[in-house]
Amino acid sequence: MFLDEYNDAPYKVLTYTAGHINYGGRVTDDWDRRCMMSMLALFYREEVLGGGHVFDPSSIYVQQTPEETDYNEYMTYLKSLPINDKPDVFGLHDNADISYANNQSSFLLNTLLLLQPRTGGGGGSREDAVNDLAKDILENLPKRFDLEQIQKDYPVMYEESMNTVLQQEAQRFNKVGFH
């Protein structure tokens, strides 16, 4: 729609749409959002449209132009790309991959340690403590929403888009299955 409405490609609008509207709700940290917007700016720009634009220092990702490339060539090119992207395609140092792998390994090992059964000295096992906590949380959860009443009080209308969100969230909460 934006490409049809503007004479020139609105790169700032496209970047904003992708970064804040499409992915903005998934990125909650301000620094992560800033990093994502910087990365998107590398891809949403005029220079990318030129034939043979290289996206990364290792020259793995090269822009193919429609005039030069047919479908089979595109597919061959796509299949030749690595399964896991190198960090340099996003403007990051190779150490970003190492940091990511270390963080994932630590998270996995810590999760495994937490799952191991342990017994305490007289206070019951860790499983008993978790079960007691879960029961306490369940007892304090609010009752299910009355979806029919919500639909009456807040009907879905074009002018009131938040009513749709309210109804969807109430349905999701009720699907959790508590009370």
Print pLDDT tens along the chain (179 aa). 777 888 888 888 889 888 888 887 788 888 988 888 988 888 888 888 777 788 888 888 887 666 777 888 888 888 888 888 888 888 788 888 889 889 998 898 888 778 776 655 555 677 777 788 888 888 887 788 899 999 999 998 888 888 888 998 898 888 876 55
Predicted pLDDT of residue 52? 78
Query: Domain containing 131: what range?
Result: 117-175
Predicted pLDDT of residue 154? 93
Domain total of the chain: 2
Q: Which residues pair with 119 in a beta bridge?
A: 125
Render 84-132 in DSSP notation, one character per residue: S--GGGGT--THHHHHHHHHHHHHHHHHHHHHS--B-SSS-BHHHHHHH
Predicted pLDDT of residue 124? 66
Predicted pLDDT of residue 121? 55
Look at residue 170 and tell me if it is in a domain: yes
| CA dihedral sign, ordered 163, 165, 171, 174 | negative
Look at residue 82 and tell me if it is in a domain: no
- Residue pair 64/77 in contact (Cβ under 8 Å)? The answer is yes
Look at residue 76 and tell me if it is in a domain: no
Predicted pLDDT of residue 147? 92
Predicted pLDDT of residue 122? 55
Closest CA to 23 of 37, 44, 2: 37
User: Two tokens at 17?
Assistant: 């749409």
Look at residue 100 and tell me if it is in a domain: no
Look at residue 88 and tell me if it is in a domain: no
Look at residue 81 and tell me if it is in a domain: no
DSSP state of 48: G
Look at residue 61 and tell me if it is in a domain: no
Predicted pLDDT of residue 177? 63
Predicted pLDDT of residue 119? 59
